[in-house]
Structure 1
Amino acid sequence: MKRWAFVVPFVFLACALAAGICGAAPAEDLERRIGELEKEIEESVKSGRGLSTELMEELAKAVEELLKGEKDREESDGKEPGDGWTEVPFTGTITVSRSLSGSAMMKEAGEGGKAPLPGKKDWRWSGRKESGGSPSSDQEGSSSWSGNSSAFLSAMITGSEPIPDGEGHVIGYQPVGYVTGRVTERENFRAKHVSITSHYSHSAREEHAFSSENIDGWCRLTVNPKEGRYALSFPSIYLGDGTGETVMAYSGPDLRLEEREPWHGLGPVDWIPSEPDRETLRYSPGSGVVAGSFTYALPPGGIDMDLIRRGLGSFPPELSGLKGELLSGYSGLAEEFSGAAGKTPGMYSGTWTVTWSLNIGNVPVRVELEPVGDYENWMPELIWGVGNFVRVRAKIVEPAGQAGKIRFSLEDVSREPGVCLNFPFVDREEAPDLVISEMSGSGLNIAEDGQSAVTLDEVNEAEIVIQAKDFGARGKLSATAVVQAGGKEMEVRAVLKRTGEHWVTLPQDENGNGIADCWEKVRGIWPCAADSDDDGEPEGKAPGDGLSAYEEYRGFFVKGRHGRLDPNTKDLFVYDPDGLAEKAGFGRVTGLAVHYVEPEEGRCTGTDDRPRTVNFRSGFSHLVDQHCLWIKKDTLPEPDPFNWGACEGPPEIGPPRTADRYVLVYADQIRADLERTVGENRPELTNALAQRGLRPDAAWFEGQVAGAVAMTAIHEACHGLGISHHYRSLRETLPKGADVEKAIMALDISPSTGQMSCVMRYTRDWGKHPRLTFRAESETLDILRGRPWPNTLCDTLDDCRGQMVVSDRETGHIF
């Protein structure tokens, strides 16, 4: 098994970042050799041979030599004695974060598909996120991959100690403080009957104390007050000495296995130090504050090898790159399935963000943020329309007794439509989903929009109350204190003690996906991408139910009560005013989590505005308008024996979007057909039932009607999930020929075939074809004699269960 499939993009990216950040033209021979090595590595991966250790070592050596030359050149260009540059003591924070996610669908090539490459299986990748709709109609089977990776580094510099030379002269400064780092990665691979999940989580903390014998240059700040410029090197952390684990779970028909391994494969969280561009990094010497921020976005589709060969010269010099390799044990399996060269499932998109806020000199003031109460388990809720609360405190901890005016600010607050995915029923003006509540107390001046507040007096600490206005509310809270210290007024940003960040995420959201971490952990999907749709149960044609992880977290109203969904189980919404599907046990038969909604909750009111759409108040991480099924009793305009129901639509059967407005059950026709069948066969039925201790009385008859209605309701609703009749087993019983095939598709031939307990099997034969002389039989009569009405979905030859497709992003069965 090739264990490098997911590693390749990160290895190339780390090398490219290193080359790009330095920003100078490499020596011609090194540039040529690096290009040759990258091409050899790419061809090796495409051919299935994996990565060569020798090639990687040679590439690393060439890049190292290139970096050394650039560093030597930079050091000779500036900061010579007397040029105005000087190293200074400082305090503050530096944070670097990385957030990546990816998703892909493997589609089995149909008869008209392209031939596979040599040595490759007949599969190809298609981008799910980029499709913007349904996949092509040739999709007969599919597998999915999704991945989410986040890393965060925070450096807290609490002071700086002077470094003397042998004669006592200060030659530099040793920053004192600590660095914390964490990485979480989760990848899912799902195919029919196979599910593999890899979950990696690791964190570490490094203390940096002063030692005159061992100078620790973990970060450094030099400034040029005359020119108002500065240069900053970034810290790094190695996670190998921290805590964490890798969990890999395999699931298949004959295998359920979970492996827990010690930490491996990611290390270190290495922000490659670089010399920032002194032309763009400027500060005001009078303020004594050095601050900046930069975000780089990696576009969807993975890494462009041509761009890498050019050295990624467009990368900003402020940016340092995170190197991380997760050696997922199942990556080789996914590689084998992928088929198309260059489209292995390591193709992430995402962002790298670097921020720093520093004060020159040893500032003796420290302000901390601290959530109060059960913050780790807090999720936004609305109880009888009133949002719940979370409290946050800001306190000036150093020096003791220091007071100042404390200001709180909400940032990056969501403005989702409505309050959840299907409420309210009418449009309303969008407003911030988090506000500072008046319950915070009288000592605060709260802004009219509820997004900021400041203490009226100078205080040592202050506490505010944040109120939720949406079940998916998300945002950040920061605080600053304006104090008098060192003979001058200064504004000090509060830090979250646990991480060193300048904000508290609401709710707690370490992986930055907008979902409360506690919900992800309870559901066993932490960390996940907000737009992932990996529901794997029950199995079917494709994973997912059309609702993103964030949408399932934000939740729905069902019969007037709000609930969050299970991201591991496929959800289907049904408007069932006559109770047909619910009484029939539709959820039990299909294995789906079926939610029976009121008409307004599923847009089943006759409106033409997105009818039957259940997530009509969607916003963030919306994948597709997901539809419900509307099942109702109806009456035929004139009698039509054994025409018991209908689920009409286009040539495509399933998913729910393809069904016409109604899934119809002709209960009156069912009753009439059973009354006639019983009347025509009463003596025979009486004898058959007597052997079972039964008799064909009124109670027995109503039970038969209920059984037939239940079977029909499920049968027709399953057409809305892409499940066809038993055509495979039907073809096995008939002679071959184009005329027979045409008759099958026209429903001119329909004998009962396939598993008898399956609801998709016909209970009555008929045929109108001159070449066929089979004798039509009515299984309805057999059932009335005592055989149970069908109430399952088969997984044998016709594989009705395997045809099921719930997500409206997918393609059903095409006729």
Structure 2
Amino acid sequence: MKRWAFLVPFLFLGWTAAAGICGAAPAEDLERRIGELEKAVEESVKSGRGLSPELMEELAKAVEELLKGEKDREESEGKEPGGGWEEVPFTGTITVSRNLSGSAVMKEAGESGTALGAGKRDWRWSGRKESGGSPSSDQEGSSSWSGSSSAFLSAMITGSEPIPDRDGNVIGYQPVGYVTGRVTEREKFRAKHVSITSHYSRSAREEHAFSPESIDGWCRLTVNPKEGRYALSFPSIYLGDGTGETVMAYSGPDMRLEEREPWHGLGPVDWIPSEPDRESLRYNPDRGVVAGSFTYALPPGGIDMDLMRRGLGFIPPELSGLKGELLSGYSGLAKEFAAAAGKTPGMYSGTWTVTWSLNIGKVPVRAELEPGGDYENWMPELIWGVGNFVRVKAKIVEPAGLEGKIRFTLEDVSREPGVCMNFPFYDREEAPDLVISEMSGLGLNIAEDGQTAVTLDDVNEAEIVVQARDFGARGKLSATAVVLAGGKEMEVRAVLKRTGEHWVTLPLDENRNGIADCWEKAYGICPCAADSDDDGEPEGKAPGDGLSAYEEYRGFFVKGRHGRLDPNRKDLFVHDPDGLAENAGFGQVTGLAVHYIEPEEGRCTGTDDRARVVNFRSGFSHLVDQHCLWIKKDTLPEPDPFNWGACEGPPEIGPPRTADRYVLVYADQIRADLERTVRENRPEITNALGQRGLRPDAAWFEEQVAAAVAMTAIHEACHGLGISHHYRSLRETLPKGADVEKAIMELDISPSTGQMSCVMRYTRDWGKHPRLTFKAESETLDMLRGRPWPHTLCDTLDDCRGQMVVSDRETGHIF
């Protein structure tokens, strides 16, 4: 079915399936006519004109004519109507899972060198992820949006009751059972000082009992034993008006405001947006088992709910409440979004996966899966290299006491490089991240690769132990019982009772993103896309820290100990062998979660071609090679007064990938300059300190050296995060139109401008690129006379805090 055909499956999907059941090709003219009508529907929806009643009526008549012609032809040829197709009773399970995600950035033309808000704005789809260090041109901008949505449906068919006509003849079967469904959604919008987050969740359960008064056609199975083919109608569930909450948080230099308001969702996306290829729906009539799977994928930007609204004029119950206009109650933001139809937030890509396992007739045997222990909170861990484990039991529950051989199978098991994002340091052979352990006991025959196990004897139940070999391990475990029932050997797949699925996800992962649900819930981000990068604290030029949600969940070794990260807070890795940044309180000043790593943990050994990359054991949901900063003491080749440090690199300041291998602090030069300044100004310094009850003795002097080194270390490291000197406040002190770089080189601009407590305050640069730091001498004297050394980042005119960019997917300042 064509991409846009999923918009109207409730109008004609059933008709086309019925035509296929007839088993004969329609006349060429009717086939051509229906094809033209479907194309007209597609173009009508794409253009936003909507579906006219006349168009749909014409399509309905064409299909009706097709079916009538097929029936007449069969009767004229003396064939049995339906071509050997018959509706049959059945039992089993059907599941539908859907995972969507999307992201967009607001690109501003001519942003470099202009104030926020200047230039032409344009939302650009940003679903493409970079594998190298170079940023995408679409990543520039001051605003970003991301969204994720997951839905899951499970149908349990426990039996089928015959439907008689007036004469008592069976004309069909009505399935009996229940359907459960759930949907969870999360959206985020961020701009400068503004962040908006919305959450939505809803679940429902529908019981389907036999009702002779009204036929409940919630699910049907039709088979053609002669041809070994079948047709299946898939169930759905309407979740109704779910309730949730929208949270809007505004923060600025002087205030923070948070508003909450309820809103209503619409239920999950059309459960089956397309149909499987009918030629693939085949079965063995002798076995009587109907099983299969089908995956439907949407490319980036595949769904625009705003376009769907304009095309259909309404949202039918079968379609979900993905919001095309993000938080439209905030009219100012919604106006920006609506101005870029087709490229707005609300564009999603993702997949639908449908699986079914059905037995024709009444199945006398039922088996169940049961995870043990604290399964809902289990996450893969390795302690001294040994993985933790989770127990899973399979049991034949009906009929009571029946025994058979039980086979366990691990499926879709991950094979991530290493065991976490930065360990081991050297390559090793990739192997399955989950295995069936020998701790399972002696009554099992476990395969050499640990992916399957079968009981040696016939048993009523069996339990295995699944062991993790990676901190991000993920997979599914299924079980099948081979039993003798009614004189016939049959295979029965065990069912997880609470979901109706034929497997247990390891760890528990209901939204199918590869991340343990308990970790997502602990940080309030459930659901999230595995490749999302929405860290918002602290604020800066752009959200994110270059590490996907999955990578933060999988974790890192820091000084020999493994830890998972906080997906809400930006993380920065620093190799700091001299303790310069750590002793300076770099993390407290920036607000970042700073992790001080050993050389091998960030490839800071001086020999690796991927030097300073911290997520070098990446695999699933990798966004970019994220770099650490390598800060070290160094000595100038010759004395250079008040040149205290350097963070060299290309003509781009920040993010960390732009910095050269080392961020340098010239501690010896700092000491020499302070010694000379004290020597030349001792009376003035002694008098100023005396008024504070202090003396310029040796202990006091060492404190001043430590404070100056700390300030310089933070200052230079901040260059590696895209923070420049105080150019904005400098512009305010110059005549209109004056050249800033020329002023820096030629004018006496000391003392520097801007907030005095900011570590980026001084601006005496050499050359065009503001990487080398020459501390103004008069500023140094002020500190030695008692003014506190700078120890913060400003958020006033120069807005150093707002320039900070951590993610290597982003761009910094171009000079």
TM-score interval for Structure 1 and Structure 2 normalised by the shorter chain: 0.7 to 0.9
Shift of 1:270: 4.6
CA displacement 1:469-501 (0-9 Å, x = unmatched): 000000000110001112200001111111111
Q: Indicate the larger mover: 215-224 or 49-58.
A: 49-58
1:369-420 CA deviation, whole Å, 9 max, x = no partner? Answer: 1111111100000011110111111111111111111100000000111110
Task: Label 1:277 to 1:152 Cα distance change in 2 as closer, same or farther (>3 A).
Answer: same
- Once the two structures are superposed, residues 320-364 of structure 1 have per-residue CA deviations (whole angstroms, 9 ceiling, x without a partner) of 999999977569825615754420112211112222111110001
Give the stretch that moved more between structures: 372-381 or 155-164: 155-164
Which segment is superposed worse, 288-297 or 490-499?
288-297
- Following superposition, the deviation at residue 37 of structure 1 comes to 13
Greater mean deviation of Cα atoms: 557-566 or 124-133: 124-133
Give the aligned partner of residue 522 of structure 2.
Answer: 522
Residues 523 and 566 of structure 1 are in contact (CA less than 8 Å); yes or no, is this contact kept in structure 2?
yes
* 1-structure distance, mates of 2:455, 2:545: 48
Q: CA deviation at 1:228?
A: 1.5
* Deviation of the 1:101 alpha carbon: 1.0
The residue matched to 1:68 in structure 2 has which SS?
helix
Give the deviation of 1:149 after TM superposition: 1.1
* Number of equivalences: 815
Alpha-carbon distance change, 119 to 632 in structure 1, aligned in 2, over 3 angstroms: closer
Per-residue deviation, 1:442: 0.8
Matching residue of 2:65: 65
The question of whether the paired residues in 2 share the 8 Å contact of 1:150 and 1:183 is answered with yes
SS of 2:347's equivalent?
Answer: coil
Taking a change above 3 Å as real, the CA distance of residues 278 and 568 of structure 1, as seen in their structure-2 partners, is: closer
Find the aligned partners of 1:642 and 1:178 in 2 and give their Cα distance. Answer: 77
Structure 1 residues 562 and 15, CA gap change in structure 2 (3 angstroms) = farther
Question: For the Cα contact (< 8 Å) 2:758–2:792, is it kept in 1?
Answer: yes
- CA-to-partner distance for each residue in 1:225-264, whole Å, 9 max, x for gaps? 1222212111111112888777676666677666666672
Q: Distance in 2 between matches of 1:425 and 1:351?
A: 35
Deviations 1:639-669 (A, max 9, x none): 1000001111111111111111111111111
Deviates more, 1:314-323 or 1:564-573: 314-323
Once the two structures are overlaid, the 10-residue window that deviates more, 611-620 or 155-164, is 155-164
1:11, distance to aligned residue in structure 2 (A) = 13
State the 1:273 CA deviation: 10
Q: 1:212 deviation in Å?
A: 2.4
CA contact (8 A) 1:95 1:355 kept: yes
Query: Kindly, what percent of the aligned residue pairs are identical?
Result: 91
Moved more, 34-43 or 640-649: 34-43
Q: Which segment is superposed worse, 444-453 or 771-780?
A: 771-780
Q: Distance in 2 between matches of 1:114 and 1:22?
A: 66
CA contact 2:229–2:282 (8 Å) conserved in 1: yes
Cα distance 1:521–1:737, how it changes in 2: closer, same or farther (>3 A)? Answer: same
Is the contact made by 2:182 and 2:202 (CA closer than 8 Å) also made in structure 1? Answer: yes
Paired residues of 2:643 and 2:773 also in contact (CA < 8 A): no
Change (3 A) 1:584 1:89: same
Q: 1:738 to 1:624 in 2, by over 3 A?
A: same
Q: Give, in angstroms, the shift of residue 183 of structure 1.
A: 0.9
Once the 2 structures are TM-superposed, how far is the Cα of residue 772 of structure 1 from its aligned partner? 22
| Partner SS, residue 6 of structure 1 | helix
Change (3 A) 1:187 1:650: same
Rate the CA distance shift 1:60–1:595 in 2: closer, same or farther, 3 A. Answer: farther
| Offset at residue 13 of structure 1 (A) | 13
Tell me if the contact between 1:294 and 1:319 (Cα under 8 Å) persists in the aligned partners.
no
CA distance in 1, matches of 2:30, 2:671: 84
Distance 1:753 1:517, change over 3 A: same
Shift of 1:562: 0.4
* C-alpha spacing 1:10/1:274, structure 2 compared with 1 (3 Å): closer
CA contact (8 A) 1:21 1:315 kept: no
Q: Tell me by how many angstroms 1:278 deviates.
A: 5.0
1:615-659: CA deviations, max 9, x gaps? 111111111111111111111111100000111111111111111
After superposition, the Cα gap between the structure-2 partners of 1:642 and 1:268, relative to the gap in structure 1 and judged at 3 Å, is: closer
Relative distance call for 1:13 and 1:513 in structure 2 (3 A) is farther
When residues 55 and 361 of structure 1 are mapped into structure 2, their CA distance, relative to the original with a 3 A threshold, is closer
- Output the CA distance in 2 between the equivalents of 1:286 and 1:151: 35
Q: State the SS of the aligned residue for 1:701.
A: helix
User: By how many angstroms is 1:290 displaced?
Assistant: 1.1
Structure 1 stretch displaced more, 765-774 or 729-738 = 765-774
Residue 659 to residue 350, structure 1, CA distance change in 2 (3 Å): same
- Measure, in 1, the Cα distance between the counterparts of 2:487 and 2:52: 62
Specify whether residues 676 and 804 from structure 1 end up closer, same or farther in structure 2 by C-alpha distance, changes over 3 A only. same
Whether contact under 8 Å (2:534, 2:544) holds in the other structure is yes
Whole-angstrom CA distance in 1 between matches of 2:76 and 2:313: 22
Over 3 Å counting, the alpha-carbon distance change for 1:686 and 1:814 in structure 2 is: same
Q: Partner of 2:158: helix, strand, or coil?
A: strand
Structure 1 residues 148-206: Cα deviation after superposition (integer angstroms, max 9, x where no partner): 11111111111111222333322221211111111111111111111111111111111
Aligned mates of 2:769, 2:413 — CA distance in 1: 66
Give distance in 2, aligned partners of 1:21 and 1:117: 59
- Structure 2 stretches lacking a partner, 5+ long: none
Following superposition, the deviation at residue 734 of structure 1 comes to 2.7
Judging changes above 3 Å, is the alpha-carbon distance between structure 1 residues 537 and 581 closer, same or farther for their aligned structure 2 residues?
same
What CA distance in whole angstroms lies between the structure 2 residues aligned with 1:81 and 1:8? Answer: 29
Change (3 A) 1:724 1:741: same
SS in 2 for 1:738: coil
| Aligned counterpart, 2:549 | 549
What is the CA-CA distance between 1:103 and the residue it aligns to? 1.5
TM-score (structure 2 length as normaliser) = 0.86
Structure 2 contact 145–189 (Cα < 8 Å) conserved:
yes
Instruction: Name the CA distance, whole Å, in 1 between partners of 2:617 and 2:772.
Output: 54
Change (3 A) 1:246 1:695: closer
Contact 1:109/1:139, CA 8 A, preserved across alignment: no
SS of the aligned residue for 2:306 comes to helix
Q: Which consecutive unaligned segments of at least 5 residues does structure 1 have?
A: none
Using the TM superposition, give the Cα deviation of residue 672 of structure 1 relative to its aligned residue in structure 2, in angstroms.
Answer: 0.5
SS of residue matched to 2:362: coil
Task: Report the Cα distance in structure 1 between the residues aligned to 2:641 and 2:485, rounded to whole angstroms.
Answer: 92
Contact 2:481 2:491 in 1 (8 A): yes
* Aligned 8 A contact 1:743 1:769 in 2: no
Q: Residues 729 and 797 of structure 2 are in contact (CA less than 8 Å); yes or no, is this contact kept in structure 1?
A: yes
- Of stretches 791-800 and 60-69 in structure 1, the one that deviates more from structure 2 is 60-69
More displaced 10-residue stretch of structure 1: 168-177 or 468-477:
168-177
- Of residues 211-220 and 543-552 in structure 1, the stretch that sits farther from structure 2 once superposed is 211-220
**Equivalent pair of 1:5/1:332 in contact (CA under 8 Å):** no
Alignment RMSD, CA only?
Answer: 6.1
User: Does the 8 Å contact 1:178/1:208 carry over to 2?
Assistant: yes
Paired residue secondary structure (2:6): coil
| Contact 2:305–2:322 (8 Å) recurs in 1 | no
**Does the CA-based 8 Å contact 1:11-1:323 persist in structure 2?**
no
Q: Which stretch of the first structure deviates more once superposed, 431-440 or 3-12?
A: 3-12
Aligned residue in 2 for 1:192: 192
Deviates further, 280-289 or 408-417? 280-289
Contact kept? 1:6, 1:326, Cα under 8 Å: no
8 Å CA contact retained: 1:125, 1:338: no
Q: Is the 8 A contact 2:163 2:174 kept in 1?
A: yes
Contact residue 631 and residue 663 of structure 1 kept, 8 A:
yes
Comparing 393-402 and 274-283, the one that deviates more: 274-283
C-alpha distance 761-589 of structure 1, shift in aligned 2 (>3 A): same
The question of whether the paired residues in 2 share the 8 Å contact of 1:247 and 1:260 is answered with yes
Residue in structure 2 matched with residue 299 of structure 1 by the alignment: 299
- Residues 498 and 689 of structure 1: is their aligned pair in 2 closer, same or farther, counting only changes over 3 Å? same
Q: Structure 1's 316 and 408: CA in aligned 2 closer, same or farther, altered over 3 A?
A: farther
